[in-house]
Structure 1
């Protein structure tokens, strides 16, 4: 009968096996179809008539054997996952065991099927690792933003102290003090926005508000380039969306471009590329030195590279979590970079003509 069953199961393109339960309750393999033999890289001589403990040995065999005993004891079909050495390497398999009983209700056979889920298990582990890493990063950002608020308040306080009884001699020192206070104030606002975003990141509903995109860009420019060393332009529009998300993405991209600029007069343009009823696509283009390969590969593939920096990692994760996309490429001969990203939002009104960052007073240029 076993020969007939084996012949039949050999036509099944999946691992199938049968265990006979001996009089003393020991499950031993009696049938192992060809597909199962190929998957396990074993022969009938090494499998048939033996228990899982004898075949696989060690903790692998013991775990599989205990699963067989559990199904015999319960008399119920069971699906479980365990690690087994297949083809000489540990692999994860998902097995379903169905008991067969005799007229007295005693389990006399176990019929099982298995599939290799190693790739699925690796994906789970990567996802768990990703959640751990991102959780730690979010906690770090929250703590960093919280700790930075006090120094920014102190900078503003120092600027106010410097202004008191300061004699203006027309050499631009007063304007510098005003600039210091203005940058500290705007930085404190951005830090508070990031902190609020980090604290509410696990919330099921994002805060969608109307906001002035041009004013947002101006604020970012004032903080990152207060002396107007670079030429930053953007489109002006009224939007409805998650303002903090747009602010975080743009601030990171603009800051990255300025930090890696090859010269002190970077040309950077923030342009509207495309929009639908519920999604806005924006392009950030500059004439700097472009992205290094690690950052380029990270943004394109989503794989975490330590060289890419937390800023780019956070940007991609924030966008992906909201159903948006991001892509990056370098210009010809790495003449600058072009980053496109999309986020949920609605354009209420657009002013096509580009706006340039407001220049500082003449005394400061």
Structure 2
């Protein structure tokens, strides 16, 4: 026989409180669209890491130029081309591979290793300075003719000590004019971010308004406005920048005007396409029936419904503008001295890459992190702001 089920005590049960006014009560807390999007964004580890990276770079762009005693345009030819030196790290031997201890390695050639070493000591004034050396190459030292013999020696020494600058610390080193690269890198990041944010602001103001008006009114208005966009699309940005440089001096003003002329076209097209899909829906018809003006319908009903797409496009616009400015500066059409951006710093460092590679490393790392972080965050926002991606 099957075992009988144990009888349950009536004390374990309570009568349900049935009330008509609680028939439509929500079973879980109400959550807004933006809070739901933020919760989904937080689950994307890559996007969160990109956001943290951008916040850190933004903080350093603001505070970095004031973290040491050097001005971004302060020259000191006695300290030109110094390697990086960071207090605390310089005395940690297992971190020597980072190259942040102020040491410099030079290759010197001579008739034999002793001659090469002596030439290096005289050239870099290493008398009384601690150094190490090693023979890199030695060509046919057995030949009787001295002109057919040569050797190459690598000498490693503390460049700060050799120049009598033991009290100075240039965290990213110095350039050919003795300017502190730490200060210039973050000042350049500040200018590059300004250009990126300016391009985003132009997109938000001109592109959104232009695309929204064109799509909402349609007909002949849309036809004329889209013909203007087609003309602007056919003009490359580089041509516009060159024209501005002819009319004005190369610099920040020319780049700003060039971005104002053509930078908003992509945003206008995206907003137009989205509003064309929304303007015939019922909530727009209801608002128009209730007597809402055209500006209110656009600002209160249509634009908020394409906000997610606007934010995503803006996040892609900023790195594109930064890279565009860096490209212009690299080819000599960007900012002019003493101003510096990441593009100008990379351009200056590229000229002496084989001799002083550290000049290129730091601005290249910063601009690479900016590009990656913005694109990763934009991908995360695209997934978070799209309700279709909600699980």
The bucket for the TM-score relative to the shorter chain is under 0.3
Q: Give the TM-score, by structure 1 length.
A: 0.23
Kindly indicate which of the two structures has a greater share of residues assigned to helix: 2
TM-score by length of 2: 0.22
Larger % of strand: which?
A: 1
Structure with more contact order per residue of length (Cα contacts < 8 Å, sep ≥ 6): 2
